[in-house]
Chain A
């Protein structure tokens, strides 16, 4: 269902239309006098018509709108938006920021595209929008009444379509479903068939004077019912040709109903509130694919690396847990081992000097050398003091001790001339040694 509201100078017309298997059908409609164009008056008027609903479209009468036909080079929709904007700026008597405008494409041929532009000054539409919305009905679109009239006809043969409502007559010439010509005439003295017939004649003459205009086959009056039939008959008599009527709706409501029916059928009409705009459509190119693939590979690599890191962390955690369970046992055992080794210094390995004593005993040649003093200090430090016949005897003694392999380090500290009066031993010497496998710098446990 769709609701349309048309605000005339002194009246409000509202229609709710639905489309069923037999075509468009009016659910509720009405046309009432409007005291003023304010929210309260509109709300009251809407209540009188019985039309309700949360939202609807606003119908702007032809007399308040500017219509232009443009022929532009064929282009993409985005290009058309720019071209239409340029042409509208040139052709409209008002600056662009002071009008609502929209357009529809009505045909293409020979590389050209025909555009029909509808524009309404903001100073007319803004108050109407504000008032209707303040009355409780959200306005979802705004359309010029001519397109409702065109929608009612719905054929491609040339015809003159006539609407008589709100104190004026709109006469529209259509051919091939397009609006070819349109004009309005005020009906200041009320609805008179002769005056309407006269305006139709003028319109047809004006249209016929254009080059290439086809002959108008039929004249159609918008509206159904006794009033419409009577008027059509009278106008037909005045024109001396038949005048048809078309609906749904009465003389007052037919155009608004036409807007609803057209929109429900999906007919393209220029919506003044939602004009076509240049939309930047994103097209996936080869470059995009390559970049996307590279990005995807990077993301996958990153994800893989994080998974691998997570796996490695889990493995490390397991190892740490294992280590935590092993360490205290190992530390206890190492301590026990150390204590055992320490205890063994008092028991199993306590007599480390006995081998050294044996080596000394075997290598001392008492004919040339005499050991006066031998001291053995823990850990394995040996100091020998003695007398020798000459330096060579000391050197031989040290060399012999080295060969035993019992000493890790052995060296002559000094060899001096003896102060004693012994004629046999003329030298005093001191030799320092360490037992093999002993590190004198190592701290005792």
Chain B
């Protein structure tokens, strides 16, 4: 009886051990590599889809960039910041506004662009302000309002005190870092 029981227990132990080893072997040699490969495939598919999606818009992106690039490449004599100041003066002149301007000493790098920032202060009426906004909107130059502070006095209803910070850009690709493609 004891022998039979011992044999049975030994058999159960051997079967359990065999199943355990088989499970480990199948897991290590088949399931885990399969799962890893499936994950890699999914990841690769996603990246390919994303790359294709980007590349599908290649024509439009190139076209838009060409337009921007052509405009950026237009000559601005004698240099960007002088040219821009002249243009800004023309805009204010059209709106009939006298302005004070100060320039940030160092241009800042923004992506592949060099940004020139100018602070202006002026007083004007609502009508002039609307005219100025129209001129800014219609400008063919690269001009961006970074900050605009408008103050109005109840007592002088038609007078606005405006502080305007504007900037323009110049194409100046940042140097590629070593090791990056």
A residues touching B (Cβ–Cβ < 8 Å)? Answer: 302, 305-306, 308-309, 312-313, 315-316, 319-320, 322-323, 326-331, 333-334, 336-340, 342-347, 350-351, 353-354, 357, 370-378, 387, 422, 425, 444-445
Contacts and interface: CB of A to CB of B under 8 A. Distances in A.
Interface string B49-75: 011101101100110110010011000
A300 to B, nearest CB: 13
A140 B134 CA distance: 121
Contacts, number: 137
B113 interface: yes
A312 B68 contact: no
A444 B144 CA distance: 14
A347 B50 CA distance: 28
Give the bracket for the number of chain B residues in contact with chain A: 35 or more
B41 A319 contact: yes
A123 to B, nearest CB: 46
A375 B41 contact: no
Contacts of A347: 68, 71, 142
**Secondary structure class of chain A's binding surface, majority of residues:** helix
Q: Which 3 A-B pairs have the closest CB atoms?
A: A330-B51, A346-B142, A326-B51
Given A334-B54, A342-B110, A373 B151 contact: yes
B158 to A, nearest CB: 12
A344 B169 CA distance: 11
**Secondary structure class of chain B's binding surface, majority of residues:** helix
Given A319-B44, A371-B152, 4 more contacts: A329-B58, A342-B113, A372-B153, A375-B147
Contacts of A329: 51, 55, 58
Given A333-B61, A342-B110, A344-B68, A319 B45 contact: yes
Given A326-B48, A336-B62, A372 B151 contact: yes
B145 A351 contact: yes
A370 B48 contact: no
22 contacts: A309-B37, A312-B38, A312-B41, A323-B44, A328-B181, A333-B54, A333-B55, A336-B61, A339-B65, A340-B64, A340-B65, A340-B68, A342-B113, A343-B72, A346-B168, A347-B71, A351-B133, A351-B137, A351-B145, A373-B152, A375-B150, A378-B146
A327 B54 CA distance: 10
A387 B143 CA distance: 33
B29 interface: yes
Contact of B144 (A327, A346, A425): A346
B48 A319 contact: yes
Given A326-B51, A333-B54, A339-B65, A315 B147 contact: no
Given A312-B41, A351-B136, A444-B110, A333 B58 contact: yes
Contacts of A339: 65, 68, 111-113
A327 B47 CA distance: 8
The residue among A336, A339, A343, A357 with the most chain B CB atoms within 10 A of its own CB is: A343
Contact of B111 (A342, A371, A387): A342
Contacts of B133: 351, 354, 357
A326 B168 CA distance: 34
Contacts of A350: 136, 143-145
B149 A374 contact: yes
Contacts of A338: 111
A297 to B, nearest CB: 13
Given A316-B41, A340-B65, A372-B152, A353 B33 contact: no
Given A338-B111, A351-B133, A378 B145 contact: yes
Interface in B145-169: 145-154, 167-169
Nearest to B58: A333
Nearest to B134: A354
B148 to A, nearest CB: 4
B147 A376 contact: yes
Given A319-B44, A340-B68, A346 B147 contact: no
